[in-house]
Amino acid sequence: MTATEIVRGFYTATQAGDGVALLALLHPDFEAHTAPGLPCDAGGAFHGPRETLERVWGPVFAAYDTAPYAETWHETADGLVVVTGHYRGKARATGRPYDAEFAHLWRVTDGRISWLHQYTDTARWQEALR
């Protein structure tokens, strides 16, 4: 599988809400760098699949009915996968919808996702909670 095909699995798993499939895609040394200002204290640097699931995706999916929807895909000569798109969903507490652009940078090592750097419009996320 190409790096792009492996990364596509992330979007499939998150859209299905499948934490088991998501964890299976991640390298044991996975690192995530998420946008400062994300709600649920989910912005920052996280190490390992479990920490990222417990401190980023778990709290976010508890607070939002949401998923990322990819729109463009680019793979560089050195294997970096760049994906742009939108997070779409609603805050569970308020029912308010939101739509926030994102750019994700990915690395794949030994057939598994090893690194993510996320950029997103965190103001849109926050507005849905108010």
- The domains located in the chain, with CATH, are 3-129 (3.10.450.50)
Six-digit token string for 69? 């929807």
At residue 19 the predicted structure's pLDDT band, cuts being 50, 70 and 90, is confident
Q: Assess contact for 92 and 40: CB atoms under 8 A.
A: no
Q: What is the pLDDT of residue 23?
A: 93
- For the chain, what is the mean pLDDT? 96
Q: Assess contact for 57 and 43: CB atoms under 8 A.
A: no
Q: Assess contact for 127 and 40: CB atoms under 8 A.
A: no
Which residues have CB under 8 Å from 63's CB, separation 6+?
39, 40, 91, 92, 93, 129
Q: Could you give the CA distance from residue 67 to residue 76 in angstroms, rounded to a whole number?
A: 25
Question: What's the pTM value of the predicted model, to 2 decimals?
Answer: 0.94
For 87-116, what is each residue's pLDDT tens digit?
999 999 999 999 999 999 999 999 999 999
